[in-house]
Amino acid sequence: MLNRIDLRGSTTDPRRLLPRAAMDVSVATEQVRPIVEAIREHGASAVRDATRRLDGVELTDLRVPAAAIAAAEAGLDPAVRAALLESIKRARKVHGDQRRTEVTTLLSTSGTVTQRWVPVRRVGLYVPGGLAVYPSSVIMNVVPAQVAGVPSIAVTSPPQKGTGLPNVNILAACALLGIDEVYAVGGAQAIAMFGYGDQEGCEPVDMITGPGNIWVTAAKRMLRGIVGIDAEAGPTEIAILADDTADPRHVAADLISQAEHDPLAASVLVTPSLELVEAVEQEIARQVAATKHLERVTEALTGTQSATVIVDDLEQGLRVVDAYGAEHLEIQTRDARAVAERVWNAGAIFVGAWSPVSLGDYCAGSNHVLPTGGCARHSSGLSTQTFLRGVQLIEYGRDALAEVADHVVALSEAEDLPAHGAAVKVRFAQ
């Protein structure tokens, strides 16, 4: 079912040969521009209009009533409640350990530089609700923001036809996390509402995070600079680096699990073992036939973005996965931890046979909002640090400034900015 790419003996840059889902954000940006601009000018009325046209939902109030959030929690299935609470507990523990502390560097008896970490004042968190709904994404966005100390947190998720509200499990997750500012808005209109406010109660935010479809990504691109954004998320992806010790049932199941997200989802197996390739293909055929979302999974696995990549050995395999920079990378090899520690580029690395990507989606404690499309080569996933800004306090006394005064003057003259030097010299003039 998977396409095959044979890189054995190849000296070509793998980035030229590896599969990737096509997603033209620039075209989508022009298509969402009228929506974003209308919301900037007209606020809530333009949000309602876009929701009516694009989602087929007529909204009176954009904000979800507190009673609806409480009712969602009250009606939550006990097993789902227990799973969400465990996920929250583990995420709080992991993200709590990410919190940086203030550091003061003493440069002289009266000269210090202090690095403070200050949370963003207000954030808007987007939770998808299209082909699938993601209460887990509520946790992955809200927990690091709360741990960072963000004082104002708002969540938005698309309204469901019939209720005009976000999915009930998404609302319940918000309730469990103590989030009461929730909006029934999706797509580009949700991003624009957070960026500009809706003139009816939703204040503009300072940062927007959370994954979404191409329309969400396009709107984020338009608002970058007006607000901070976490990333331009593309279709989800998994790469598995495996050798002949990997269990083909596990490999096939993990490739299928990622294909379940979206027809554009990418599932890539990198291996030097032809025996594993054959066994995985047989397992995929068997397991896909029994999966719930057969059509979606089949389209993703047979798409040009998914493939089996055959390499000479694990050394070449490491070069290939580094070039690919997967959102999720599984290592299913001998000495998996040692191999994983040699990887440079991945959003998150899942080590060994007992660490599937689906664990990270829900209950590992790690964050599942990760860079896609090769952006792991330069970007990180969502974390506590995403919501913190480094602010430096520079405090020098007279003696400390005197120690470097001549150096400041020399550099200011070298850069032909003599007033910079004069600002120091005037302090020592008699």
DSSP 205: P
Backbone φ, ψ for residue 328 (5° rounding): -120, 130
Q: Is position 385 annotated in a ligand binding site?
A: no
E-strand ranges in 235-387 read 237-242, 266-271, 307-310, 328-332, 348-351
Whether 327 is catalytic = yes
Element (H, E) at 209: strand 207-209
Q: Is position 328 annotated in a ligand binding site?
A: yes
Q: How many CA atoms lie within 13 A of 245 on its CB side?
A: 10
| DSSP bridge pairs for 350 | 330
Q: Is position 6 annotated in a ligand binding site?
A: no
Other C-beta atoms lying within 10 Å of the C-beta of residue 5 = 18
Tokens of 350: 């899942």
Q: Is position 160 annotated in a ligand binding site?
A: no
- The structure tokens 């840059």 sit at 13
CA 14, CA 5: separation in Å to the nearest integer?
A: 11
DSSP 213: -
Q: Is position 189 annotated in a ligand binding site?
A: yes
CA 117, CA 94: separation in Å to the nearest integer?
A: 18
| Catalytic member of 95, 250, 293, 328 | 328
Whether 295 is catalytic = no
Q: Is position 213 annotated in a ligand binding site?
A: yes
Q: Which of 249, 214, 220 is nearest to 235 (CA)?
A: 214
C-beta of residue 362 within 8 angstroms of C-beta of residue 350 = no
CA 374, CA 253: separation in Å to the nearest integer?
A: 23
Element (H, E) at 263: none
Q: Is position 378 annotated in a ligand binding site?
A: no
Q: Is position 95 annotated in a ligand binding site?
A: no
- The structure tokens 């070039």 sit at 323
Handedness of CA 350, 353, 358, 361 (dihedral sign): negative
Pairing of strands 237-242, 266-271: parallel
| Catalytic member of 181, 260, 283, 327 | 327
Beta-carbon contacts of 321 under 8 Å, excluding residues fewer than 6 positions away, are 239, 241, 270, 329, 343, 345, 346
Counting every residue, how long is the chain? 430
Active centre residues (catalytic): 327-328
Q: Which residues contribute to the annotated binding site?
A: 126, 189, 213, 236, 258, 261, 328, 361, 415, 420
Q: Which residues contribute to the annotated binding site for substrate?
A: 236, 258, 261, 328, 361, 415, 420
Q: Which residues contribute to the annotated binding site for NAD(+)?
A: 126, 189, 213
